[in-house]
Homo-oligomer: A and B are copies of this chain.
Amino acid sequence: MTDSSPTDSPRAQIKRQQIMAAARQLFLAQGYERTSTETIRQAAGISKQTLYVYFPSKVELLSAVVTEELAGFTLAQLRPAPTTLSELRAQLLGLAQGFTRQMMQPDALALLRLLIGEAVHLPELRGTLRRAFPARLLARVEALLSAAHTAGLINAPNLNLSARMLVGPVISFVALDGLLSDQPLGGGPPAPPGLETLTELVDLFLLTVAKGSRG
């Protein structure tokens, strides 16, 4: 937003990245309030003045970090609409697997924690919530199911609820095992659900949209 960089030269870009990398690590590890600009400047190896040349305030630095971090999350490639149940199954599995793999990383969980805990109190981050990863997954699955429904593959009168039947269990792994478990911070990442579990989940899910299962 407020681009107070000295120039937009490659040089300046690099410095920006250098500052953001340092800030990123600290914000994710300690949270926003517990991280001081002094610590950030030390970690970035620059003077305080330079920091404020590149970012007008601490909160704008956070905003830049979070925005970039969020942009790093990707959902599995959008593929052509499925024409068979087996294609649908494969696409759903791909989405579920890609999501959990990325999300169960310590950094991803820390980012989510940061967003959930701080965004309410920081207007600068408010809009970021809408673009948050789990919400994007729900939209994507809903679109996929809609296509499958149009193609006559499945039976789903309530698309949003059906999407939640798949996305919900996936989120439950992240939320319960990732966000709400009390493992010590250094104690390695929480174990993500295995591929077999996700396959089993997708198959259970397909039962709920199978043709003929309801009116």
Q: A116 to B113, Cβ gap below 8 A?
A: yes
Which residues does chain B contribute within 8 Å of A117, judged by CB atoms?
31, 113-114, 116-118
Given contacts A121-B34, A161-B169, A167-B172, contact A180 B138 (CB under 8 A): no
Q: B213 to A207, Cβ gap below 8 A?
A: yes
A49 CB to nearest B CB, Å: 26
**Interface presence of A10 (CB below 8 A):** no
**Interface presence of A22 (CB below 8 A):** no
**Interface presence of A97 (CB below 8 A):** no
**Interface presence of A41 (CB below 8 A):** no
In angstroms, Cα B42 to Cα A152, docked, is: 64
How many A residues face the partner with a CB closer than 8 A? 53
In angstroms, Cα B31 to Cα A203, docked, is: 41
Which residues does chain B contribute within 8 Å of A180, judged by CB atoms?
115-116, 129, 132, 134-135
Q: A31 to B121, Cβ gap below 8 A?
A: yes
Q: B129 to A161, Cβ gap below 8 A?
A: no
Q: A182 to B127, Cβ gap below 8 A?
A: yes
**Interface presence of A176 (CB below 8 A):** yes
Which residues does chain B contribute within 8 Å of A210, judged by CB atoms?
207
Which residues does chain B contribute within 8 Å of A119, judged by CB atoms?
182
Which residues does chain B contribute within 8 Å of A134, judged by CB atoms?
175-176, 180
In angstroms, Cα B177 to Cα A164, docked, is: 12
**Interface presence of A91 (CB below 8 A):** no
**Interface presence of A201 (CB below 8 A):** yes
**Interface presence of A4 (CB below 8 A):** no
Q: A172 to B164, Cβ gap below 8 A?
A: yes
Q: B175 to A164, Cβ gap below 8 A?
A: no
**Interface presence of A78 (CB below 8 A):** no
Given contacts A113-B117, A120-B113, A138-B176, contact A201 B165 (CB under 8 A): yes
For A133, the closest partner residue in chain B by CB is B180
What sequence of 0s and 1s flags, for each residue 124-137 of chain A, a beta carbon within 8 Å of any chain B beta carbon?
00111110101100
A15 CB to nearest B CB, Å: 29
